[in-house]
Amino acid sequence: MKYNKKRSFGLVKTQFVSFNKPFVLSSGHKIPSLTVAYETYGSLNSDKSNAILICHALTGDAHAAGYHNPDDRKPGWWDDMIGPKKAFDTEKYFVICSNILGGCKGTTGPNSINPLTNKPYGISFPIVTITDMVRVQKMLIDYLGIPYLKSVAGGSMGGMQVLEWMALYPDLVKSSIVIASTSRLSPQAIAFDAVGRNAIISDPAWNKGNYYKKKKKPDRGLAIARMIGHITYLSEESMFKKFGRKLQNKKLFSYDHSIEFQVESYLHHQGKVFVERFDANSYLYVTRAMDYFDLVVEYGSLEKAFEKGKGKTLVISFTSDWLFPPKQSLEIVHALQRVGRDVTYCNIESPYGHDAFLLEFCQITRLISNFLSSLEKV
């Protein structure tokens, strides 16, 4: 799709900031220095009170809206939500999105050069947590000279970061928007992550994480990991409506091991395009960070995690999301209610499963626009 100024935020550029001092991680290990990739949309007002931070999901990045070049085929991953007159209205708000620590799109991660060795970190990169990611985001916000955030918003793993912001920096978060997320992964979700990681490390080309200068990379393992993950993002209803049991470009079975069904072809395509834009080692690190995330373990209880904050919270879930089901959102809502927090909850009827947070933008837009407007009236 060509650049269309009427429907998109417009042309944007990824920016970079470096912090040339050691960063101590939750594990106690240190990273000698950090680089953070980020994008901004809209303008910061004179008193710096209109900043909103968008936190991306597992395979997202800082490029949340607009186009980098007029010939780009696709805009940023949440382009339907960020821009003039959209949910995050850039005529009102200064919207920020950064690539997470451990990512592979400009922020320091396993594919970055270790300044101590002048070689890619690979799996010598220390394990990171959601807390570490949020602390790096806080460094970026400080660098931009923003005293507090009008709102922090995100879906899926982005929602985990929002929850961590609420707990870690309660005085800096004036409101929060948590979409299709959870305060801790279920054993089932951890199991899917484990299978994906095993697909990567079982690929001979993974070479114990040292593949960056090799011709062959663990593309097959990463593609399989993506296929496994993608299944969890859909729902039985959406898969049946989209594919059913239809065959791919044929009317009869081939009676061999070729791709027979449309759903097989779809997953194969998803895996193929994913390896063109993501790093296998980053997939290992980011899924592990999700596995470790547990606000109850970190703070003692959800109530203790949320008791210090005062800002409003909007929590959104989707009826067909079996990866992060509505009951997990309700746990967050009930904990916020028990500590007297102002919380609004909506469980949206949708057939799209976990992916609904990227697809149901019309319904989400109404909810977020009304929520953000309510902040202006306080």
Residues of 316-355 as b/e, b for ≥16 C-beta within 10 angstroms?
Answer: bbbbbbbbbbbebbebbbebbeebebebbbbbbebbbbbb
| Range of the structural domain that residue 248 is part of | 192-283
Look at residues 136, 117, 141, 161 and name the one whose alpha carbon lies nearest to residue 35: 136
The verdict on 229 and 363 lying in the same domain is no
The verdict on 230 and 335 lying in the same domain is no
> What is the per-residue pLDDT across 97-139, written as a single tens digit (0 to 9) for each?
999 999 999 999 999 999 999 999 999 999 999 999 999 999 9
| Predicted local confidence at residue 9, as pLDDT | 86
pTM of the model: 0.95
pLDDT beneath 50: ranges in the chain? 1-5, 378
> Rounded CA gap, 174 and 170, in Å?
8
| Predicted local confidence at residue 250, as pLDDT | 87
- The answer to the question of residue 59 being in a domain is yes
Look at residues 180, 181, 149 and name the one whose alpha carbon lies nearest to residue 165: 149
Look at residues 97, 74, 90, 110 and name the one whose alpha carbon lies nearest to residue 158: 97
> Rounded CA gap, 103 and 36, in Å?
10
| Predicted local confidence at residue 8, as pLDDT | 81
Spell out the alpha helix ranges (H) of the chain.
Answer: 130-143, 157-168, 187-201, 219-233, 236-242, 262-274, 280-292, 295-299, 302-306, 326-338, 356-359, 361-376
Identify the residue whose tokens are 């040292």. 210
Angle between helices 219-233 and 262-274 (to 10 degrees): 120
The verdict on 158 and 227 lying in the same domain is no
Q: How distant, in Å, are the alpha carbons of 134, 210, 337, 349 from that of 331?
A: 22, 41, 10, 19
- The answer to the question of residue 64 being in a domain is yes
Q: How many structural domains comprise the chain? A: 2
- The answer to the question of residue 6 being in a domain is no
- The answer to the question of residue 288 being in a domain is no
Active-site residue list = 156, 321, 354
- Torsion angle of alpha carbons 204, 205, 206, 208, nearest 10°? 70
CATH number for the domain spanning 333: value is 3.40.50.1820
| Predicted local confidence at residue 1, as pLDDT | 35
> Rounded CA gap, 55 and 226, in Å?
20
